[in-house]
């Protein structure tokens, strides 16, 4: 798959394509309905299947620290889009220029620069300054400038419209089976293992410390997990996602994973952590002895869950 990034939107020069546009945060079932349509149409027309996404996501530009937590990093998103059959991803920087771009100018870039021959969007797709561009405008512009456009119906699971917001709510509630229905896969976070402060090792529970820089987590608490390393080997364990209030009350959200029956070195490996069950919220204990006792109990509960699944 081809990745195009770090170039101005109005300077790109491309070949004919079938395209979709969006945030694609989490690349959930609703997104897959759009992506499958793009792949099918691209094959029919003999053109590449292309997706346009933005970094940062628009809400992160407008709301800064108040923006909702991401379901996927840019790296994870790109991989998921590739897995879905996209042949090219345009990842454009969302800044003041794009935020203030009139809807008509944005459409002109689609047909004049990106050579879009067929555009497929979600039914709620809006674009341009003040979100003034909509499907009706796209239809009008398509007739005038020689491309075609259609939208897709929303995907519902148990009468709920699948969306990134719904998935964040499901994750916050610790409902991983429901989250899996919305995503079409188990929820996973990935990152590179870095060096920690060895506090876990000191109390008998060494951890793999996963870097989650520049990422606000949709999860907080203690969880049953599996971890896959770069070779594809999988290990069971428990994970803490939070600020470690008993140890040092960090202002950064940390992801720490204690693996069962594991001896080895994971440093600098990119690993994938799949969340299976929430055990509890993160708590502040009176000291390390009380924390150690609780982690022992967490491990017992996790092993019991894994034995019964």
CATH of 186-307, one of 2.40.30.30, 3.30.2130.30, 1.10.357.10, 2.40.128.20: 2.40.30.30
Confidence of residue 250 (pLDDT cuts 50, 70, 90): low
266-307, pLDDT tens digit by residue? 999 999 999 999 999 998 887 888 888 999 999 999 999 999
Mean pLDDT computed over every residue of the chain: 93
Long-range CB contact pairs, 1-5, < 8 A, 24+: 1/78, 1/81, 1/82, 1/86, 1/87, 1/88, 1/89, 2/87, 2/88, 2/89, 3/78, 3/88, 3/89, 3/91, 4/88, 4/89, 4/90, 4/91, 5/55, 5/90, 5/91, 5/92
Mean pLDDT of 28-37: 97
Mean pLDDT of 139-167: 96
Confidence of residue 126 (pLDDT cuts 50, 70, 90): very high
Q: How many CB atoms lie within 10 A of CB 23?
A: 20
184-219, pLDDT tens digit by residue? 999 999 999 988 766 666 677 889 999 776 668 899
Residue 309 or 91, more confident: 91
User: Among 15-29, 92-106, 208-222, 276-290, whose mean pLDDT is lowest?
Assistant: 208-222
CA angle 165, 167, 25 (to 5 degrees): 70
Find out if CATH 3.40.50.620 is the number for domain 2-161.
yes
Give me the percent of the chain exceeding a pLDDT of 90: 79
CA–CA gap between residue 112 and residue 307 (Å, rounded): 58
249 pLDDT higher than 70: no
Q: Which residues are registered as beta bridge partners of 270?
A: 192
145 pLDDT higher than 90: yes
- pTM score: 0.93
Tokens of residue 25, six digits: 């945060």
Where, residue-wise, is CATH 3.40.50.620 in the chain?
2-161
Where, residue-wise, is CATH 2.40.30.30 in the chain?
186-307
């Amino acid at each position: 798959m081809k990745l195009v990034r770090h170039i101005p939107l109005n300077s790109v020069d491309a070949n004919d394509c079938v395209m979709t546009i969006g945030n694609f945060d989490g690349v959930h079932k609703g997104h897959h309905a759009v992506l499958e349509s793009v792949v099918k149409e691209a094959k029919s027309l003999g053109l590449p299947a292309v997706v346009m996404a933005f970094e940062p996501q628009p809400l992160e530009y407008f709301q800064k620290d108040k923006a909702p937590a991401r379901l996927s990093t840019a790296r994870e998103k790109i991989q998921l889009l590739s897995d879905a059959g996209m042949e090219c991803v345009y990842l454009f920087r969302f800044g003041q220029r794009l935020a203030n771009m009139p809807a008509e100018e944005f459409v002109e870039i689609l047909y004049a620069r990106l050579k879009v021959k067929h555009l497929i969007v979600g039914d709620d797709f809006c674009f341009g300054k003040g979100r003034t561009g909509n499907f009706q405008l796209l239809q009008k512009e398509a007739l005038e400038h020689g491309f075609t456009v259609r939208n897709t119906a929303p995907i519902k699971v148990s009468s709920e419209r699948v969306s990134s917001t719904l998935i964040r709510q499901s994750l916050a509630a610790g409902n991983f089976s429901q989250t899996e229905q919305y995503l079409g896969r188990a929820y996973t976070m990935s990152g590179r293992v870095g060096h920690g402060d060895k506090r876990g090792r000191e109390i008998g529970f060494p951890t793999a410390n996963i870097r989650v820089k520049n990422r606000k987590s949709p999860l907080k608490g203690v969880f049953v997990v599996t971890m896959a390393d770069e070779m594809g080997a999988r290990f069971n364990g428990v994970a803490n996602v939070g600020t470690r209030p008993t140890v040092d009350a960090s202002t950064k959200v940390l992801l720490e994973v204690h693996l069962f029956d594991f001896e080895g070195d994971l440093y600098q490996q990119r690993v994938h952590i799949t969340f299976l069950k929430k055990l509890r919220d993160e708590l502040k204990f009176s000291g390390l002895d009380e924390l150690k006792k609780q982690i022992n109990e967490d491990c017992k509960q996790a092993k019991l869950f894994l034995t019964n699944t």
